[in-house]
């Protein structure tokens, strides 16, 4: 039997209109959108469905919105295929919270509140600093680390071969991009983000998040949940909370996380939530892996047809 992992999208995957057709067709999705509005006390559903894009892109909205749509995709899949087994979960940055909720480590309600507050704390950190990020294409990790050291920035995301992301002060990111090009990077391009995520510039968010995490009851995950920080399965509830605090300023070791699952015999990966970025990175890590995604009605039906077969 194939070993299946569920993957959950991270910030940047948001898109105006996400989840709208799911809510129109499935009462479960409609109810979850309404429940999220009630939990948060504002119309997150309207922002997901209608935008404007600038409002959805705000970290404090994007994070709960992506968490919510990923959770809805997960619940709809379970509704359609209640006997479907999965053996591990993983999520990119904020997607790790969805992965933990899907594995039974915390409730949907607690997860939604946490990512909303995490988003607010990170937005505050962005506003207090002058930071940015850049994608470094086709430069190996060792050379990129040298560039980071020389420019005074940090390696934020190790997504897949040839695709790394750096993070730090805006002026230093510009210097790092020029250095990367001189060292042979095919592209070194600043990203349209509001701050320097997964760098020391996010440190002010950590103590606030630690307080929020301490108020949530975590359980041991029912399946393996791969940590962004360690690229290995999470441990005890206390360790989970500690790693989620670390994650705010640590590198996202996504390629290592996928290689860990591949080495454990996982051959089928289902991306849940908006976009297909995680499938794209997985293809570059191992194009033999079976990749499915659920982001809307069409992709849900296509995934169900394959998984039910």
Beta bridge partners of 89: 6, 225
Residue of 105, 167, 198, 250 marked catalytic: 198
- Which among 46, 48, 45 is positioned nearest to 31, based on CA atoms? 45
Whether residue 16 contacts residue 51, with contact meaning beta carbons closer than 8 Å, is answered with yes
Contacts of 288 (CB under 8 A, 6+ apart): 267
Residue of 93, 227, 251, 257 marked catalytic: 93
> Can you give the C-alpha Rg of the chain in angstroms?
18
| Structure-token match 């001189």, residue found | 182
Whether residue 11 contacts residue 94, with contact meaning beta carbons closer than 8 Å, is answered with yes
DSSP string, 48-64: HHH--HHHHHSHHHHHH
Whether 234 is a known active-site residue: answer: no
Three-state DSSP state, 295? coil
Whether residue 60 contacts residue 47, with contact meaning beta carbons closer than 8 Å, is answered with no
- Which among 110, 112, 158, 115 is positioned nearest to 135, based on CA atoms? 158
Whether 198 is a known active-site residue: answer: yes
| Structure-token match 């996982």, residue found | 266
> Phi and psi at residue 89, in whole multiples of 5°?
-135, 155
Would you please indicate which residues are annotated as catalytic (active-site) residues? 93, 198
């Amino acid at each position: 039997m194939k070993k299946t992992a569920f993957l959950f999208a991270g910030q940047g995957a948001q898109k105006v209109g996400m989840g709208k057709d799911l809510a129109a067709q499935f009462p479960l999705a409609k109810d979850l959108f309404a429940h999220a509005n009630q939990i948060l006390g504002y119309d997150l559903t309207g922002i997901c469905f209608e935008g404007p894009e600038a409002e959805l892109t705000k970290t404090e909205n994007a994070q709960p919105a992506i968490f919510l749509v990923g959770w809805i995709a997960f619940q709809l899949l379970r509704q359609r295929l209640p006997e479907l087994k999965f053996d591990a979960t993983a999520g990119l940055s904020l997607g790790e919270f969805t992965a933990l909720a899907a594995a039974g480590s915390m409730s949907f309600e607690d997860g939604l509140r946490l990512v909303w507050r995490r988003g607010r704390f990170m937005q505050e950190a962005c506003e207090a600093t002058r930071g940015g990020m850049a994608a470094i294409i086709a430069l190996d990790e060792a050379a990129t680390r040298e560039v980071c050291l020389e420019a005074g920035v940090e390696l934020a995301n190790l997504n897949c071969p040839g695709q790394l992301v750096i993070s730090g002060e805006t002026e230093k990111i510009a210097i790092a991009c020029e250095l990367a090009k001189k060292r042979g990077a095919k592209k070194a391009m600043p990203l349209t983000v509001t701050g320097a995520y997964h760098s020391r510039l996010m440190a002010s968010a950590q103590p606030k998040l630690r307080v929020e995490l301490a108020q949530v009851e975590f359980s041991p995950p029912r399946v393996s949940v791969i940590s962004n920080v360690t690229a290995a399965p999470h441990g005890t509830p206390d360790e989970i909370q500690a790693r989620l605090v670390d994650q705010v300023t640590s590198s996202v070791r996504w390629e290592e996380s996928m290689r860990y699952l591949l080495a454990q015999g996982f051959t089928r990966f289902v991306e849940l939530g908006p976009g297909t970025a995680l499938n794209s990175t997985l293809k570059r890590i191992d194009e033999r892996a079976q990749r499915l995604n659920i982001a809307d009605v069409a992709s849900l039906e296509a995934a169900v047809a394959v998984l039910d077969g």
